[in-house]
């Protein structure tokens, strides 16, 4: 089976669509439901249930992939920033499976975006080490080697010149400090990407986040040995990546999820 449901949980909306993983295309229109004001696991699960029921005739009993804005370690959410604090420490995979009656696999949202870009987007065909960064409120990151995700790599929190990198180089900081694209790129992004390049020697950087739509204003200013390109999956990345993650765990179960 190549059709899996991906659901992308954000601070303002929960979006889902079945994805044909042969092509990376949605099967029909996506469904978006506002994120509950009190975004507890139980309340989010209720919305996820609605989306699953909408697409159940298409996906059958296949596992579902679900992104959240947090690390996910063998199904467990160690901490959370943009959803209710009740997520902290729970085995979310187990909780959602019990409430929804099917396998649910949670994945960090940047990791999902990285998977989508490697399989269907800007990094498609690259069989080396790909690092995706999302420049937004903070800096999310994903590290994929030969198509395999190394999960929960928080490269936005590297120390750079005595600072947490994302507190200097995120696109939200550019806006907050009214930095020009040139100043932001040369003084903030260039040191950040040069540092990551030195640590990992990747084959390709992919840059996502809303600011990537303005790639022409800052991308050409970066001077790196590593090729660096803008993401192409945009607002489809979370859903497609979540579906890819669900398919991978269906084929290669994580034995540590049940122990967590």
Give the domains, in start order, of the chain with CATH numbers.
3-111+236-251 (3.30.420.40), 126-232 (3.30.420.40)
Rounded CA gap, 112 and 83, in Å? 18
Rounded CA gap, 131 and 78, in Å? 23
Per-residue pLDDT, 11: 87
Dihedral of the alpha carbons of 203, 208, 214, 216, in degrees to the nearest 10: 10
Using the 8-state DSSP alphabet, how is residue 232 labeled? Answer: S
What are phi and psi for residue 80, nearest 5 degrees? Answer: -140, 145
Q: Give tens-digit pLDDT for 10-29.
A: 989 999 999 999 999 999 99
**Chain mean pLDDT for the chain:** 95
Rounded CA gap, 142 and 148, in Å? 11
Per-residue pLDDT, 81: 81
Rounded CA gap, 160 and 12, in Å? 31
**Cα separations in angstroms, 159 against 78, 164, 165, 196, 197:** 21, 5, 6, 11, 14
Per-residue pLDDT, 255: 74
Strand bridging mode 104-108 / 64-68: parallel
Six token digits for residue 249: 């765990």
Q: Which residues of the chain have pLDDT under 50?
A: none
Q: Is 16 exposed, middle or buried (0-12, 13-18, 19+ CB in 10 A)?
A: buried
Residue 44 contacts residue 31 (beta carbons within 8 Å): no
Per-residue pLDDT, 258: 61
Per-residue pLDDT, 248: 93
The per-residue DSSP string of 8-66 comes to EE-SSEEEEEEEETTTTEESS--EEEEPPSS--HHHHHHHHHHHHHHHHHHHTT--EEE
Q: Which of 121, 3, 127 is nearest to 65 (CA)?
A: 3
Q: What's the longest Cα–Cα distance across the chain?
A: 53
């Amino acid at each position: 089976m190549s059709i899996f449901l991906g659901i992308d949980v954000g601070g303002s909306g929960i979006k889902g669509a079945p994805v044909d993983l042969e092509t990376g295309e949605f099967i029909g229109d996506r469904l978006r439901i506002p994120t509950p004001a009190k975004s507890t696991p139980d309340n989010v699960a209720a919305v996820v249930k609605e989306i699953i029921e909408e697409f159940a005739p298409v996906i059958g009993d296949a596992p579902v992939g679900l992104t959240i804005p947090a690390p996910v370690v063998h199904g467990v959410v160690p901490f959370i920033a943009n959803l209710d604090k009740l997520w902290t420490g729970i085995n979310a995979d187990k909780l959602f499976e019990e409430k929804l009656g099917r396998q649910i696999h949670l994945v960090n949202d940047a990791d999902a975006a990285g998977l989508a870009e490697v399989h269907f987007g800007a990094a498609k065909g690259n069989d080396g080490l790909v690092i995706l960064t999302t420049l937004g409120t903070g800096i999310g990151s994903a590290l994929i080697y030969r198509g395999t995700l190394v999960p929960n790599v928080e490269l936005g929190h590297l120390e750079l010149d005595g600072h947490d990198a994302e507190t200097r180089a995120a696109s939200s900081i550019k806006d907050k400090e009214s930095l020009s694209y040139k100043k932001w790129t040369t003084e903030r992004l260039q040191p950040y990407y040069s540092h990551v390049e030195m640590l990992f020697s990747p084959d390709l950087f992919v840059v996502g986040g809303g600011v990537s739509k303005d790639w022409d204003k800052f991308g050409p200013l970066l001077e790196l040995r590593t090729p660096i390109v803008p993401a192409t999956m945009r607002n489809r990345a979370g859903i497609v990546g979540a579906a890819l993650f669900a398919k991978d765990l269906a084929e290669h179960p994580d034995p540590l999820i049940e122990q967590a």
